[in-house]
Amino acid sequence: MTIPPGFTIGIVGGGQLGRMLAIAAAQLGYKCHVYAPDAETPAGEVAAFSTQGKFHDEEKLRQFGASVDVATYEFENIAAGPLAALSAKAPLFPPRAALEVAQDRLSEKEFVRGLGGRPAPFAPVSSFAELGEALQAIGAPAILKTRRFGYDGKGQARIADPSEAAAAWEAVRGAPSILEGFVRFEAEFSILLCRTAVGEIAVWDAPHNIHDQGILARSEIPAPAGLAAPIAEAEALARKVADALDYVGMLTLEFFAAGGTAVFNEMAPRVHNSGHWTIEGALASQFENHIRAICGLPLGATARTAPHVVMDNLIGDDVHRWRELLDDPAAHLHLYGKGEPRPGRKMGHVTRLLGPSAA
């Protein structure tokens, strides 16, 4: 199935990822139709059409599906069930099966472990009593994470000592969760992979990621040479995951490098913050290749355009540095068109293409 340029792509979600998808789609000659709960969204600013609707409104999603030729989504915190109404009217990629795995941390880790991956030790927690049992089995320090609807450090609580269990359980509000053993790691990195319906796979250089308070602060490419073995192991696993899910579109897997191995952290069935550097830093960006994949087109090359690429997120008041950043001729500035900057809110990013001496 090929969706030719000139047709309409539906994007569920109106944030910055949808915005950059719509820009990439427009460059290839497609129109985009954004579906989101808010009337004004970052993605809607650059799309041809917008529909305001709740993510659980099956009838409105069905109508939305009838108005587009193919559909995708920009984030995984949406119930897979209502999307069935959309997919009954238009092809939906990535497939709902991938979303169902990725949006439940327990299912995700069991799935990856079944393919030979190595997640941190984990145990399901559905009550305070089970949390105590899990802490006895895994030990502390550990992290309690809600099974669903958590990202950028949200929906989780650290437990340094078992005496902190009650506070952690209160922090997740008693939601079904998992307890993860604390991983002592040397570095964090991600695998950015795109797959077509016929099984063509493209992979970018793995970025070395640095987080601040659970939010991605910087991605740097190439990753340190000492991460070569964990990255090779992680890429092999990512390919297995994509094939097992009969995946179409962008898939991101995040890892810890620990003791020369790759420890799986989580997956995102979508374009990803750690891949923003690819807009200027690769021959074809993650956004362009996602559009190519869901429309049945061949994938673009993923080679770097510079020896060294650095992407920094602009969080909260960082956005006020826009003039300073534009004074740097090497800076590629992206502002997301959001309103009020708040602590922890991603307002934009800046990418720099550097020479080998900077690596």
Q: In this model, does residue 154 exceed pLDDT 70?
A: no
pLDDT of res. 214: 87
Per-residue burial over 275-289, b = 16 or more CB atoms within 10 Å of its CB, e = otherwise: bbbbbbbbebbbbbb
How would residue 289 be classed by pLDDT, with cut points 50, 70 and 90? Answer: very high
pLDDT score, position 356 = 83
Residues 141/146/150/154 CA torsion (nearest 10 deg): -50
Tell me how far apart the alpha carbons of residues 250 and 229 are, in angstroms, rounded to a whole number: 23
Could you give the percent of the chain with pLDDT greater than 90?
91
Of 31-35, 63-67, 339-343, which gets the smallest average pLDDT?
339-343
24-47 average pLDDT score? 97
Long-range contacts of 34-40 (CB under 8 A, 24+ apart): 34/10, 35/10, 35/11, 35/60, 35/61, 35/64, 36/12, 38/14
Judged against a pLDDT cut of 60, whether residue 357 lies above it is answered with: no
Section 196-203 average pLDDT? 98
| pTM, rounded to two decimals | 0.94
Helix ranges, 188-334 (H): 228-244, 278-281, 286-294, 322-326
Q: Are 147 and 177 in contact (CB under 8 A)?
A: yes
CB atoms within 10 A of CB 331: 15
Cis peptide bond prior to 91, omega within 30° of 0: no
CB 297 within 8 A of CB 237: no
CB 189 within 8 A of CB 223: yes
pLDDT at residue 358 greater than cutoff 90: no
At residue 155, the pLDDT reads 81
Q: In the prediction, which pLDDT does 359 show?
A: 45
Beta bridge partners of 33: 10, 49
